[in-house]
């Protein structure tokens, strides 16, 4: 995967090897750090990797 600072739900799901719906659920519950901007969930790579 190409190095990026921000990942989409699809990219996070691929990286963590889980279903996209699970990533949405974890993001909504605050179990994984994320930002919702203009209706799209975004995840900071540095936070996901070092949490």
Quote the longest CA-to-CA distance of the chain: 28
pLDDT of amino acid 17:
94
pLDDT of amino acid 18:
95
User: How many other CB atoms are found less than 10 A from the CB of residue 44?
Assistant: 16
Evaluate whether 49 touches 10 at the Cβ level (below 8 Å): no
In the chain, where are the structural domains located?
A: 6-49
Question: Where do we find the tokens 């993001």?
Answer: 27
Reported as a single tens digit per residue, the pLDDT across 1-51 is 456 688 899 999 998 899 999 999 999 998 888 888 999 888 888 777 766
> Which pair of tokens denotes residue 28?
């909504």
Q: Which of 42, 49, 48, 50 is nearest to 6 (CA)?
A: 42
pLDDT of amino acid 3:
61
Q: pTM of the prediction?
A: 0.76
């Amino acid at each position: 995967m190409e190095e990026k600072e921000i990942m989409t739900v699809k990219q996070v799901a691929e990286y963590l090897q889980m279903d996209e719906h699970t990533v949405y659920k974890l993001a909504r519950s605050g179990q994984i750090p994320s930002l919702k901007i203009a209706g799209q969930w975004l995840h900071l790579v540095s936070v996901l990797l070092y949490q």
